[in-house]
Amino acid sequence: MADLLPEHPDFLWRNPEPKSSYDVVIIGGGGHGLATAYYLAKNHGITNVAVLERGWLAGGNMARNTTIIRSNYLWDESAAIYEHSLKQWEVLPDELDYDFLFSQRGVLNLAHTLQDVRDSVRRCEANRLNGVDAEWLDADQVKEVCPIINTSDDIRYPVLGATYQPRAGIAKHDHVAWAFARKADELGVDLIQDCEVTGIVKDGNRVVGVQTSRGTISAGKVALCAAGHSSVLAEMAGFDLPIQSHPLQALVSELHQPVHPTVVMSNHVHVYVSQAHKGELVMGAGVDAYNGYGQRGGFHVIEEQMAAAVELFPIFARAHLLRTWGGIVDVTPDASPVVSKTPIDQLYVNCGWGTGGFKGTPGAGWTMAHTIAHDEPHEYNAPFALERFSTGALIDEHGAAAVAH
């Protein structure tokens, strides 16, 4: 039998020693950092780039998310960047030559109250005006898409209908990271693990390098892509971010036969559920209330999401919880990301994706790479600059974000 097994793959990237200097240093080797490096090389020809990761590649939120991909956000600015991201998801398996199991199985965002229905129908119409596939389904149509949902009217919060985005889906998160990492490495990017940034080196108001646990590295430009630790890095650099870091938990059940054909999210009873390719039910909910950097949260949050899941899916009642975990999400006041220049010259920040960063991986990388290369934002991330917190031009996506922040 042994000779029938595939060869163990070679390492997907080199593990180089850090050089003393790079044109661009990206802090954070998660999905967003890796995608930024990839698009810097591919779209802009900038390959003298290092991605510094304090742990191992994609070991933070990239390893902890629930892999949901969709673009059905309300406002024009959001639709533009999330839909661009979804369009990249659709071509990336070929482009990166890596089948990371992107499965466009659709997403249902459930409505349980009259106000939910009104908001959802409005969001569908806004989506369609922005070229995002979206339709409103009544409860019977919801049942056709996902037969295991309880659409009876005798539960506490009956399902009145849902928005449906057929092009939404899931992907295998670790393979996504490895796909970006392998291609970025091939294009010449140095991926440096076990390298924690301990300080930002400046000359006047201009960033010129970083101090790390593996020595000082000088850099023409520096990009922060550190999600939950963005505030810590910004403080090192001498500026503030409108970010609060919270624990966000997720969980999986044991492996089951395929029963759940799509992705279901409920803002109101507060759970989101899909079934991974291997068969485990993957669930998440809202953040823990308090600020936290501990990568863990309270069990009462798990308990509430399980209660919501069982009410919506009675078939799950006897499924066993296999594993729970937590990540640290960087939450902004308007539930929209910050992809922006900073008050420090040649220093850029990508953060604030909160509970929804995975889906934004290609869009964040694409626009961040453009911002770094041109020292100007791309049209898709210009509205997501830090300036909106003084101009007041917020992009409030608390409704479409689908979980409480």
Q: Which CB sits closer to other proteins, 292 or 365?
A: 292
Q: How far is the CB of 290 from other proteins (least distance, A)?
A: 5
Q: Is 96 exposed, middle or buried (0-12, 13-18, 19+ CB in 10 A)?
A: buried
Per DSSP bridges, beta strands 190-192 and 49-52 are parallel
Measured from the CB of residue 93, what is the shortest distance to other proteins in angstroms? 36
What is the smallest separation between the CB atom of 151 and other proteins, expressed in angstroms?
Answer: 30
Q: Which is nearer to other proteins, 54 or 84 (CB)?
A: 54
Return the range that interacts with other proteins (CB under 8 A); candidates 3-11, 135-143, 196-204, 298-306. Answer: 298-306
Q: What is the 3-state secondary structure (H, E, C) of the chain?
A: CHHHCCCCCCCCCCCCCCCCEEEEEEECCCHHHHHHHHHHHHHHCCCCEEEECCCCCCCCHHHCCCCEECCCCCCHHHHHHHHHHHHHHHHHHHHCCCCCCCECCCEEEEECCHHHHHHHHHHHHHHHHCCCCCEEEEHHHHHHHCCCCCCCCCCCCCCCEEEEECCCEECCHHHHHHHHHHHHHHCCCEEECCCCEEEEEEECCEEEEEEECCEEEEEEEEEECCHHHHHHHHHHHCCCCCCEEEEEEEEEEEECCCCCCCEEEECCCCEEEEECCCCEEEEEEEECCCCCCCCCCCHHHHHHHHHHHHHHCHHHHHCCEEEEEEEEEEECCCCCCEEEECCCECEEEEECCHHHCCCCHHHHHHHHHHHHHHCCCCCCCHHHCCCHHHHCCCCCCCCCCCCCC
55 part of the interface to other proteins, by CB under 8 A: no
44-52, 54-62, 152-160, 386-394 -> range binding other proteins (CB under 8 A): 386-394
Q: Which of 91, 129, 289, 317 binds other proteins (CB under 8 A)?
A: 289
- According to the binding rule CB under 8 A, does residue 63 interact with other proteins? no
Q: CB 289 → other proteins: shortest distance, Å?
A: 4
Q: Does 299 bind other proteins (CB under 8 A)?
A: yes
Select from 290, 317, 376, 379 the one that contacts other proteins (CB under 8 A). 290
11, 203, 258, 390: which one binds other proteins (CB under 8 A): 390
Closer of 72 and 244 to other proteins (Cβ):
244
| 185/288 with CB nearer other proteins | 288
Region 214-243 residues binding other proteins, contact defined as CB under 8 A:
229, 231-232, 240-243
Q: Is 291 in the site for other proteins (CB under 8 A)?
A: yes
C-alpha–C-alpha distance, residues 222 and 258, integer Å: 44
| 350 near other proteins (CB under 8 A) | no
Which of the ranges 115-123, 125-133, 185-193, 287-295 carries the binding residues for other proteins, by CB under 8 A? 287-295
Q: Which of 61, 103, 244, 253 binds other proteins (CB under 8 A)?
A: 244
Q: Which is nearer to other proteins, 219 or 241 (CB)?
A: 241
CB 342 within 8 A of CB 231: no
Segment contacting other proteins by CB under 8 A, of 13-21, 179-187, 284-292, 358-366: 284-292
Told to check if 354 binds other proteins by CB under 8 A, we report: no
Shortest separation between residue 85's beta carbon and other proteins, angstroms: 25
Q: Which of 193, 389, 398, 399 binds other proteins (CB under 8 A)?
A: 389
If one counts every other C-beta atom within 10 angstroms of the C-beta of residue 355, the result is 27
Query: Taking CB under 8 A as the rule, does residue 213 contact other proteins?
Result: no
Binding of other proteins by 333 (CB under 8 A):
yes
Among residues 198, 185, 234, the alpha carbon closest in space to that of 350 is found at: 234
| Strand partners of residue 206 | 203, 345
Choices 83-91, 103-111, 187-195, 290-298 (CB under 8 A): range interacting with other proteins: 290-298
Contacts of 139 (CB under 8 A, 6+ apart): 151, 158, 159, 160, 161
- Residue among 173 and 405 whose Cβ is closer to other proteins: 405
Residue 157 vs 389, nearer CB to other proteins: 389
Say how many residues touch other proteins, by CB under 8 A. Answer: 23
Write out the residues near other proteins by the rule CB under 8 A. 229, 231-232, 240-245, 289-294, 298-300, 333, 389-392
